[in-house]
Amino acid sequence: MSPEPNRSATSRLRPILVALALVLSACQRQETREEISTDLATPRRGGTLVVAISNDIHGINPLVSAIDTQTTAVLDRMFLHLFEEQSDYTQHPPTFEPQLVESFEWSPDRTRLELMLRPDVSWSDGVPVTAEDVRWTWLAQTDPDLAWGYAQSKENIRDIEVIDRLTVRVHFRQQSPSQLAELNEGVILPKHAWSELPFSQWRSNGSWFEDHLVVNGPFDLQSWTRQQQIDLRRNESYHEPDLPRLDRVVLRVVPQKQNQLGELLAGEVDFIEQVPPSEVSRLEQQGIEILRFWARQFNYICWNTRRPLFTDPEVRRALTLAIDRQEIIDTLWYGFARIAVSPILTSIWAHDPDLQPVPFDLEASRRILESRGWKDRDGDGLLDKGGEPFSFELITNTGSQVRIDAAVMVQEHLRRAGIEARLRQLEFNTVISRALEHDFDALLGGWDIDTSLDLTYAFHSQSIDEGYNFGQYSNPEVDRLIEAANLETDPTERVLQLREIESILHRTQPYTYLWEPQRLAAASPRLRNATPSPVSPYFRLREWWLTEAD
């Protein structure tokens, strides 16, 4: 569960009901923008892009820095992956465009993958990137003393073998649909510069890496003033001709969203990763472009299925029926979201388009609850059974006002059904701690998902004690289908398995699936070719450009 949207490409923890008028107006705005900028259509080189960010990064070593969206997004502009994941997962599994890799070849049984690296990539100190860097990075990622947060993504990799200076052979334990994503998790690091410090000492020597920093990505770190500003500069040794187009990227830490918006409107900032839905109209009226895309996220209420109130799937379904999720979306998201249906997002290729959200139906909810013995016997407005009222605690995290507001609305919706939800806001780490210990009744949170569609993390019974199955949901058929889908490499067959899982989760409602949000980034009139996406808010930053010099 993340306080704000965030995930990477592997099975870690790591959508369109917008009004037609909004779509048409967006198209008209885009056409106008294109007409105005016809004479500026040729990308230019130079200039400084200023970005307002809410939080600072946690370090410059990707394996020891805190795993959060901001840190990952920045470091991914400094270090290269083997491949670059694309955002083309709507109609089919996502593709991976070679980045450090020049070509690759699978063995017939798909348990070995031979990678040929590009010969023209070097570190910023002039040392070539080689196969030794790839193998050594994998050793670092899987070292138990270093304890990288995404180490489990490498569990299916048995070995990475150096064949020659530019060739490695990856040995997998078994074939699966997510082998390339698992291999690609994490950037490649510089063995020659960082291997002198043992892995066991990495976590206690964070500043050492700044003094020994070399990069192979499009941008290098020029300076970093904690909690104030990150200054990136063009990496002059970057291998793609004429890229990056920008001279510098300044990421300015501006915690308050209203201050970010003020600086954007004043022309002091060129890009904001996320703006409040309530501000979209005002920004567009003042010439700011809003870049929309569906996030890889769903928000939910997780029911603790081991608590007596929530053991019955029909009762959980009644709770969902009692919550007016469209009202939440209209009130809090101004329409820039849609009702969630399942953990396989509406925008994902494997989602079943025939699966409809559980409707808002207060009378149906009351009928189900009454059939389960819940009635207001004492006339106090609350349903009761066996002398006990239908009352529980609903927790959510501080730091996310939209979730807090949503919890208040859920409380009111359930009150109308005769149910008392006692709200409690807790600091984010406390929520996580209680969730992992299953010490809660109900939890309002959000999952930022990857495209591997491995649902083990929250819905397989093995993840009750060793994962993120907070609600202790256990269904043998779901377990079987998840295990089968995680090994199935035929997309046609895998879709059938995933849709059966969807159907069961939809029917049993271990979660009430609340909403899937859109991300709303904002760009100044002088910024061109900005392509924020679910993969990264700075996707292909190397190709962004400015229409005028500073």
CA distance 459 to 473: 6
Residues 268-277 have a mean pLDDT of: 96
pLDDT at 21: 30
Token pair 């308050």 is found at 256
pLDDT tens digits, one per residue of 376-419: 999 999 999 999 999 999 999 998 899 999 999 999 999 999 99
CB atoms within 10 A of CB 371: 11
Per-residue pLDDT, 50? 98
pLDDT (tens digit per residue) in 45-74 = 999 999 999 999 999 999 998 778 899 999
**Number of domains observed in the structure of the chain:** 2
CA dihedral angle for residue 528, residue 297, residue 407, residue 2, rounded to 10 degrees: -90
pLDDT of residue 1: 56
Catalogue the E-assigned strands of 254-406: 271-272, 289-294, 297-303, 337-339, 384-385, 388-389, 391-397
pLDDT, average across residues 246-268: 97
Examine the pLDDT at 120 and tell me if it is beyond 90: yes
> Which one-letter DSSP state was computed for residue 129?
P
Whether residue 488 sits in one domain with residue 390:
yes
**Encoded amino acid at 90, one letter:** T
Identify whether 528 is part of a domain. Answer: no
The answer to whether residue 262 sits within a structural domain is: no
| pLDDT digit string, tens, across residues 433-489 | 999 999 999 999 999 988 889 999 999 999 999 889 999 999 999 999 999 999 999
Cα angle, residue 87 at apex, residues 530 and 140 outer, rounded to 5°: 100
In-domain check, residue 40: no
Separation of alpha carbons 302 and 289, rounded Å:
36
Number of helices and strands in the chain (H, E): 17, 22
Distance CA 174, CA 182 (A): 12
Domain membership of residue 436 (yes or no) is yes
Mean pLDDT over 341-348 rounds to 96
- pLDDT of 35: 38
Exposed e or buried b per residue across 320-341, where buried means at least 16 C-beta atoms within 10 angstroms of its C-beta: bbbbbbbebbeebbbebbbbbb
pLDDT for the residue numbered 548: 80
Residues 364 and 468 in one domain: yes
Band (pLDDT 50/70/90 cuts) for residue 549 is low
Whether 316 and 441 share a structural domain: yes
pLDDT at 27 over 70: no
Is 367 domain-assigned? yes
User: Which residue, among 454, 458, 496, 341, has the nearest Cα to 9 in the 3D structure?
Assistant: 454
Residues 302 and 180 in one domain: no
Distance CA 56, CA 520 (A): 20
pTM assigned to the model:
0.86
- Among 348, 437, 499, 455, smallest CA distance to 12 is for 455
* Beta bridge pairs of residue 443: 302, 395
DSSP per-residue string spanning 426-461: E-HHHHHHHHHTT--SEEEEEEE--SS--THHHHST
Residues 333 and 481 in one domain: yes
Which string of b and e fits 257-277 if b means at least 16 CB within 10 Å?
Answer: beebbebbbeeebbbbbbbbb
Express each pLDDT in 320-330 by its tens digit: 999 999 999 99
Q: What is the bridge-based pairing of β-strands 48-53 and 271-272?
A: parallel
CA 538 to chain centre: 13
- Check pLDDT > 50 for residue 523: yes
As a whole number of angstroms, the distance between CA 10 and CA 280 comes to 32
Q: Which residue is listed with tokens 């959980």?
A: 316
Distance CA 353, CA 528 (A): 35
Judge if 187 and 316 occupy the same domain. no
Indicate the pairing of strand 289-294 with strand 442-448.
unpaired
pLDDT at 77: 98
With CA atoms as reference, report the closest residue to 212 among 198, 197, 199: 197
Mean pLDDT, rounded, for 8-17:
33
Q: Is the pLDDT reported for residue 5 higher than 90? A: no
The CA-to-CA distance between both ends of the chain, in Å, stands at 40
Name which of 7-21, 48-62, 120-134, 425-439 the model is least confident about: 7-21
- Domain-terminating residue out of 172, 207, 242: 207
Output 285 or 13, whichever has higher pLDDT.
285
Average pLDDT of the segment spanning 172-192: 96
Q: How far apart are CA 227 and CA 253, in angstroms?
A: 6
Residue 175 pLDDT class (50, 70, 90 cuts)? very high
CATH number at residue 189: 3.90.76.10
For the chain, the 3-state helix, strand and coil shares in percent, each to the nearest 5, are: 30, 20, 45
Residue 58 within a domain: no
163 and 304 both lie in a single domain: no
Residue 190 covered by a domain:
yes
Residue whose token pair is 């410090």: 197
User: Quick check: 511 and 527 in contact, CB under 8 A?
Assistant: no
1 near 446, Cβ under 8 Å? yes
- Where a domain ends, among 188, 207, 226? 207
Domain assignment present for 316: yes
CB atoms within 10 A of CB 405: 14
Residue numbers of the domain that contains 349: 297-518
The overall average pLDDT reported for the chain is: 92
The answer to whether 441 and 304 have CB atoms below 8 angstroms apart is: yes
Domain boundary residue, one of 143, 177, 207: 207
Do 391 and 502 share a domain, yes or no? Answer: yes
Using the predicted structure, report yes or no on whether residue 18 has a pLDDT greater than 50.
no
For tokens 């570190």, the residue is: 123
Residue with tokens 């040995």: 171
CATH number of the CATH domain containing 439 = 3.10.105.10
Considering only CA atoms, which of 427, 387, 422 is closest in space to residue 408? 422
Instruction: Determine the residue type at 268.
Output: E
